[in-house]
Amino acid sequence: MSGRTALSVASNRGHEQIVARLLKAGAKQVPSDGRLPIHEACCKGHFGTARELLKKYPDSINAEDEDGMTPLAHARKASMLLQNIEVFGSDDGSEVTDRGKLILHLLINGAREHST
């Protein structure tokens, strides 16, 4: 994780309270690997963390990452993936379908189709 800020790492891991403290102390959203901390939080489905970031940086909701995706696009994708895992009853996506594909692969491919 070299070159990443504490805010980026905390956002990626969903540490909402740490993110709030860092922001209160003056931490800035600095791009790392083509993404802002808000992208990191939304990619992982850490929506509470994303809310903390949006309180301080409301304009970041429209920021595009290196792939041209906004935080909202990442949140939609993560939310869809989490909902589908819940519906299909697999907590890790390791169940295999009758065609030999992992449930996780099907969910990710479906999320990709819906995020465009």
Total domains in the fold of the chain: 1
Three-class SS state of 96: strand
> What is the domain-level CATH number for residue 74?
1.25.40.20
Q: Average pLDDT of 1-15?
A: 88
- Whole-structure pTM value: 0.69
Q: pLDDT-derived band of residue 88, with 50, 70 and 90 as boundaries?
A: low
Quote the CA–CA distance of 29 and 37 in Å, as a whole number.
6
Query: For residue 105, is it within any domain?
Result: yes
Which range marks the domain in which residue 44 is found? Answer: 6-115
pLDDT digits (tens, 9 = 90+) for 74-83: 888 887 766 6
3-state secondary structure of 82: helix
Domain annotation covers residue 1:
no
Question: What average pLDDT does the segment 5-27 reach?
Answer: 97
Query: Residues 6 or more apart from 97 whose CB is under 8 A from it?
Result: 103, 106
Query: Looking at the domain assignment, is residue 111 inside a domain?
Result: yes
Asked if the structure places residue 35 within a domain, the reply is: yes
